[in-house]
Amino acid sequence: GGIGNTTLAKLVFNHTQFKDYPRVWVYVSRTFDLIKIGNSIVSQVSEEQSQMTDKEMIQRRLRKVLAGKKVLIVLDNLWEKDPSTLDELKSMLKLGKDSKVVVIITTRDEGIAKKIHTVEPYKIEPMTNDMCWTIIKHKSAFDDKPYKDQLELIGREIARKCGGVALAAQSIGYLLQTRTSDEWESVKNSEIWNVLALQDECSPHHVPASLMLSYSSMPPYLKLCFAYCALFPR
């Protein structure tokens, strides 16, 4: 996560090419729920709240609200791997007579993209170390700091550890903004980089090291806020 899939989808979603389309954005929870997705699409296209509980009812409603329309649908952060469930999803998105439905799906799992695609999937490549360093410099207000030569050596090593992930570079940059050179060194040498590097990045429970470093540096009252927010589904 954090490599830029959602950011790219938002750029397409807000592009002037689709300004005359009804646009639908659905965050797909890790517990896949086709009824919830269908209701969300109906609600956003019809601008009327939909709370149907039956798949056939949703399909009939989708046929009606999508008929004759050009619609852009973004399904963000898909985790479901079951082929039959994905086929159900694809069938649901094809409903609507004489409709033109453009669907963008983001996922961090390349296998899912290969199962559900109708055109060749687009894979966002990781950023270079130099690009990560540029982000860190900007977010940390590097140009206003003394001892730039010393900090740059440390900062470039931190950028390398970001693994080409833009979100990692951003969060680390903010973290370093008010830190001394010794604290930059501590961030670079933190054991968190090594521990979290062993995690499966495609796991729904994967936490980038950069975010864990940011969290560990927070005052206790902010940690409590984050812990509370974690109780709610995204």
Q: What is the 3-state secondary structure (H, E, C) of the chain?
A: CCCCHHHHHHHHHCCHHHCCCCEEEEECCCCCCHHHHHHHHHHHHHCCCCCCCCHHHHHHHHHHHHCCCEEEEEEECCCCCCHHHHHHHHHHCCCCCCCEEEEEECCCCHHHHHHHCCCCCCCCCCCCHHHHHHHHHHHCCHHHCCCHHHHHHHHHHHHHHCCCCHHHHHHHHHHHCCCCHHHHHHHHCCCHHHHHCCCCCCCCCCCCHHHHHHHHCCCHHHHHHHHHHCCCCC
User: Which residues make up the CATH 3.40.50.300 domain(s) of the chain?
Assistant: 5-116
Mind listing the pLDDT tens digit of every residue in the chain (234 residues)? Answer: 677 899 999 999 999 999 999 999 999 988 899 999 999 999 999 999 989 999 999 999 999 999 999 999 999 999 999 999 999 999 998 887 888 999 999 998 999 999 998 899 999 888 999 999 999 999 999 998 988 899 999 999 999 998 888 888 998 999 999 999 999 999 999 988 887 555 555 555 556 777 788 888 888 998 899 889 888 866
Residue 101 has a pLDDT of 92
The model's pLDDT over 32-64, given as tens digits with 9 standing for 90+, comes to 999 999 999 999 999 999 899 999 999 999 999
Residue 14 has a pLDDT of 96
Residue 214 has a pLDDT of 82
Q: 10 Å Cβ neighbour count for 51? A: 9
What's the pTM? 0.78
- Beta bridge partners of residue 75, listed in sequence order: 26, 105
Residue 205 has a pLDDT of 54
Residue 215 has a pLDDT of 83
The CATH number corresponding to 5-116 among 3.30.1490.190, 3.40.50.300, 3.40.190.10, 3.40.50.12500 equals: 3.40.50.300
Residue 122 has a pLDDT of 92
Token pair for 24: 């639908």
Residue 213 has a pLDDT of 84
